[in-house]
A and B are shown apart, each in its own frame.
Chain A
Amino acid sequence: MLEEKRLIWELKQGSNDALRRIYMEYKDNLLTIAASMLHDTYAAEDVLHDVFVSFAGSIGNIQLRGSLKSYLTASVINRVRDMYRKKRHHLVELEEAGQLASDFDGPVRSAEFGEDAGRLTDALARLPFEQRETIVLHLNGGIKFKEIARMQRIPLSTVQGRYRYGLDKLRTILKERAKK
Chain B
Amino acid sequence: MNVTNNRVAVTAIGIVSPLGIGLPETVESLRTGRDCVGPVTRFDVSHCRCKTAAEVPDRGSQPILLRGGRDRLHPASHMMIRALDEALKQDPAFSPDLAVIGTTSGGMSFGEHYYRALARHSGLHKAPRWIANYPPQKPVIDALESFGIESPCHVIANACASGTNAIGHAFHCIRSGNHTRVLAGGYDALCELVFVGFDSLQAATPEKCRPFDADRSGMVLGEGAAVLALEEWESAQDRGATILAEITGYGISTDNHHLTQPNPSGIGARLAMEQALRTAALDPDRVDYINAHGTATRFNDSAEAKAIAELFPHDVAVSSTKSMMGHSLGAAGAIEAVVCIAAMQNSFLPPNINFRGTEDDVRLNIVANESKPHNVRVALSNSFGFGGTNASILLKAAPP
> Do A and B belong to a common assembly?
no
Residues of A within 8 A of B (CB): none
